[in-house]
Amino acid sequence: YVLRDSLSDKQDSDIASEREELETFKRLLGPSDDPRMMGRIGTYEILGLLGHGGMGVVFKAFDPSLNRYVAIKMLAPMLIPSAVFKQRFLREAQSAAAVVHVNVVGIHAISEWQGNPYLVMTFVRGQSLQTRLQHRGHLSLREVLRIGLQVSAGLEAAHAQGLIHRDIKPANVMITDNGDVKVMDFGIARALSDAGATLTSTWNIVGTAQYLSPEQASGSETDERSDLYSVGCLFYELVSGKPPFSGETPVAIAYQHVSAPLIPVTDIEP
């Protein structure tokens, strides 16, 4: 499903690796009576894989009871055995579900399938901000302001509920086909951090180095201001085409957030 449009541009080894990953994710599903489907989660028919990362797997699904498409996010296979994390995942998801705002991807349901918790979310037709940056390099000031206002509005609604995102980055911002902005994955990074994830062993799970606040990078307590710092990093990249800091390892990038001088964005894009 997810491979059908991309295999022609990949090497045989890459194709084999992606097929192996896909088979791993398919084992999270139950069988479907519809041969066109990838599988089933509860009453939801799974059409294909939308994406995956160190923390979770996201499927496109069809909800027959409401006759609509949804997105379903499940824990990554390696995290399923952790009972502590599953409890925290569900608790944070319940908090995130309380955030109802036009600029936040809505959570419709929280449940479990074969011992694996999952979220049922709004299926957003569009592209991530990361994909847009990859195609265009950087955005116009007008577009940066339009996107920035909507990201900030979504965060404001979350902060009003006492929820901190902790992983603001281009991949977690969706642009719909009609131009609306949706922030995804509220509270998930906190659940992982509380479950004992460490800076060095699971960095790609608890945060993304290019957008970490100094508090996150140094392991200190975080609050809403950490999200604002990450938004600043996001704006910097939207305008300049690259994040404010880079390095050979995530830890090296994190240390720069704490102590390195920042190149003014006007030096890159006057």
Nearest alpha carbon to residue 234 among 105, 166, 158, 144: 144
**167 is an active site residue:** yes
Amino acid identity for residue 137 in this structure: G
Tokens of residue 235, six digits: 């704006």
| Region for residue 152 given its phi and psi (left: phi exceeds 0; alpha: psi -120 to 50; beta: otherwise) | alpha
Q: How many CB atoms lie within 10 A of CB 29?
A: 22
Active-site residue, from 167, 177, 180, 185: 167
Place of tokens 């062993």: 201
Write the DSSP string, 129-153: HHHHHHHHSS--HHHHHHHHHHHHH
Catalytic residues: 167
